[in-house]
Amino acid sequence: MTNQANEPGCGEIPDLAGKHLVLGLTGGIACYKSAELCRALIKAGATVQVVMTAAAEQFITPVTMQALSGRPVYTSQWDSREANNMAHINLSRQADAILIAPCSADFIAKLLHGSASDLLGLMCLARPIDKVPLLVAPAMNREMYAHPATQRNLRQLEADGAKVLGVGTGFQACGETGDGRMLEPWQLMEDIIAFFVPKALAGQKVLVTAGPTYEAIDPVRGITNLSSGKMGFAIARAAREAGAEVTLIAGPASLPTPRGVARIDVISAQNMLDAVMLRAQSATVFIATAAVADWRPAVPSTQKIKKDGSRQPPQLQFTENADILATVARLATGHAGKPFCVGFAAESHDLHENAQAKRLRKNVPLLVGNIGPDTFGQDHNALLLVDAQGCTEVPRASKLLLARRLVREIATRMSALGLAQQNVQDISLGNS
């Protein structure tokens, strides 16, 4: 599975532009994923220097990794290509981070004990800890992963300052099923990109709604809309990148859950309202991105409505759905349970006027307007930010880029209101 949101649009700066990464490979069948990961890092704008252990060479060749990275691969601490014969010093000093993927149980143990028996271990030991972070993507059999020694080593590795990226669950090359698989390249990419994003929402609990709702007419028919959920999912990802604890309440949407985001699937507007209100008082930010149906059939049929031969359509009675955003915004001012509310308005015309009117009607500090037919199902969008001071147009860009811009806007506004941690004050809205 790939995540298309990683693909930069025309004129957009790639997510890892200017970053130089050392990609370390240790022994394991997951080395085949490292080839795709290397390619993805390059496409995201990074430069990649591959370093392989002797065990890694049993699973994938240096020639393959050289072709993908565009750089000679290093395998020995005695590599004579370095004029001073100190590859472990030179390579580590040039890196913005060292990523070991896959990282075997054996190499995790070596890292823990500071082993320097090969170039990769020597380089990790010699890196400036305060300047060159170490990211580790474990990969091993489920029993090896669950072993107390491995779990103890991983905990200590994190205590020593390394970032352990976690593991996947599923079928393993040995034929067993369980935890220990290396994460898929797209999952690692999300984690790596998030690692470098300033944590403007650190300590915040963000609640996001996304996608359409579905209001049943009968067991096989219903009322919905064309919202894909892409904007809301992008916002959830961007908020998580910015350090927030994120819960995503999603209507019917066929999208992968962003890494590190807790997802709750709902169907109807009432389902979404119930899920939101259970969590709204513990959230510090509420972003109502979902395209919620304004109306629903008052009494859905318990059986499929059949044609009766009269050619007359069935007469449906409708009742209004509760306004989720307005309901959250009405929580008592100053109450610990009232989050900073951000609404969305999907309009078909007169965007400025309708969006400003909706902001006042909902009584929220920030409302984001867009033209629904131009954005539903699309990977790109253009936004209108509406607040008490007026309207700001944000030009068309990928939804992920727009989501990151919106997150920075929210962080800065919360900082101005004294609602966020001090570190958000340094965020620049001019950086995309």
Over residues 85-99, the mean pLDDT reads 90
CB atoms within 10 A of CB 105: 22
Give the pair of three-digit tokens for residue 167.
């593991």
Domain 205-417 has CATH 3.40.309.10: no
pLDDT at 420: 54
Kindly report, residue by residue over 148-166, the tens digit of the pLDDT. 999 999 999 999 999 999 9
| CA angle, residues 59, 61, 67, in degrees to nearest 5 | 135
pLDDT at 62: 97
Domain spans of the chain, in order of start? 6-196, 205-417
- CA 99 – CA 87 distance, rounded (Å): 17
pLDDT at 308: 75
pLDDT at 310: 73
Name the pTM for this structure. 0.88
pLDDT at 426: 38
Q: Residue 427: pLDDT above 70? A: no
Q: How confident is the model at residue 298 (pLDDT cuts 50, 70, 90)?
A: very high
- CA 182 – CA 31 distance, rounded (Å): 9
Which region among 18-22, 334-338, 355-359, 364-368 has the lowest average model confidence (pLDDT)?
334-338
Task: Estimate the crossing angle of helix 105-112 against helix 148-159, to 10 degrees.
Answer: 50
Query: Contact at 8 Å (CB) between 342 and 409?
Result: no
Percentage with pLDDT > 90 across the chain:
71
According to DSSP, the β-strands at 285-288 and 245-250 are unpaired
Kindly report, residue by residue over 8-26, the tens digit of the pLDDT. 555 678 999 999 999 999 9
CA distances for 339 relative to 109, 171, 307, angstroms: 44, 41, 48
Kindly report, residue by residue over 55-71, the tens digit of the pLDDT. 999 999 999 999 999 99
Which region among 354-358, 369-373, 426-430 has the lowest average model confidence (pLDDT)?
426-430
Give the pair of three-digit tokens for residue 105.
């149980």
What are the beta bridge partners of residue 384? 369, 393
CA distances for 405 relative to 13, 239, 282, 395, angstroms: 13, 10, 24, 11
Tell me what percent of the chain is helix, strand and coil, each rounded to the nearest 5.
Answer: 35, 25, 40
Residue type, 79: D
Residue type, 393: E
pLDDT at 422: 38
Kindly report, residue by residue over 114-159, the tens digit of the pLDDT. 999 999 999 999 999 999 999 999 999 999 999 999 999 999 999 9
- CA 64 – CA 58 distance, rounded (Å): 13
CB atoms within 10 A of CB 402: 25
Q: Looking at the annotation, which residues are catalytic?
A: 174
Q: Residue 336: pLDDT above 60? A: no
Domain 6-196 has CATH 3.20.20.70: no
Q: How confident is the model at residue 108 (pLDDT cuts 50, 70, 90)?
A: very high
Matching fold, domains 6-196 and 205-417: yes
pLDDT at 90: 85
Query: Contact at 8 Å (CB) between 383 and 368?
Result: yes
Q: Residue 4: pLDDT above 60? A: no
